[in-house]
Amino acid sequence: MSQAAEASHGTPATPTAGGAIDFLNFVGLLKTLKRTGWVREGVTLPESVADHQYRMGVMSLLITDDSVDKQRCTMMAIVHDLAEALAGDITPLDGVTDEDKHARELRALDQMLAALGEGTHAAALIKGLWEEYEAGATPEALMVKDLDKFEMIVQADEYEREQSMDLSPFFASTAGYFKTTMVQEWDRELRRRRQERLAQRQQNL
């Protein structure tokens, strides 16, 4: 059955092979797009946006709260930054309002999803997940937002240890941020380890 016929029968159309490849080429840009915060801090070989999303996806597999849809969190984690492939990694220090950032990313995402074709199930799924994350109103979105910020400070801790850097602003900006019990526990443990490490370093001076 053709895409047009599928649509007329109420069945979600599927992307063409060419459309899928075009979309995946957009997604591939995230593999070389370096995270702005690390570039600004002068990190050597900073992670890409794709690196960040990958570990978030793995983090979502560790969710212990049965009231949260783990599979939906995994999908949301791997699509929440897709728009950055075209919009770039905009940070609070870039002087862009939240409204403008959202508008830029929405335009970018729509451009990417156009490759999949209007009315396809895949495009609707990805956009729905992205919009849910942006709204931050569901338990899954709140969980993924926690994972997003926690992955950032895990990475900051690694850069501090590996490159002898002081990335305290990243820890300060996330203090008291986390909403979910699981990530609050992770956050306490990470900060405990970091404080222990910093204290040990002071003793060795």
Q: What is the C-alpha separation between 193 and 189, in angstroms, rounded? A: 6
43: left (phi over 0), alpha (psi -120 to 50) or beta: beta
pLDDT for 7: 42
Token look-up 């900006």 returns 173
Token look-up 């942006």 returns 134
pLDDT for 94: 87
Q: What is the C-alpha separation between 130 and 119, in angstroms, rounded? A: 16
Dump pLDDT digits (tens) for 141-191: 999 999 999 999 999 999 999 999 999 999 999 999 999 999 999 999 999
What's this model's pTM, rounded to 2 decimal places? 0.91
8 A C-beta contact, residue 110 and residue 86: no
Dump pLDDT digits (tens) for 53-91: 999 999 999 999 999 999 999 999 999 999 999 999 988
Residue 1 pLDDT level (bands cut at 50, 70, 90): very low
Dump pLDDT digits (tens) for 95-133: 889 999 999 999 999 999 999 998 899 999 999 999 999
- In this structure, whether the domain defined by 3-204 belongs to CATH 1.10.3210.10 is answered with yes
Token look-up 């946006």 returns 49
Provide the residue ranges of all domains of the chain, joining segments of one domain with +. Answer: 3-204
**Start-to-end C-alpha separation, the chain:** 72
Element (H, E) at 123: helix 121-135
Would you call 17 exposed, middle or buried from its count of C-beta atoms within 10 A (0-12, 13-18, 19+)? exposed
Amino acid identity, residue 128? G
Query: CB neighbours of 27 closer than 8 A, spacing ≥ 6?
Result: 82, 85, 112
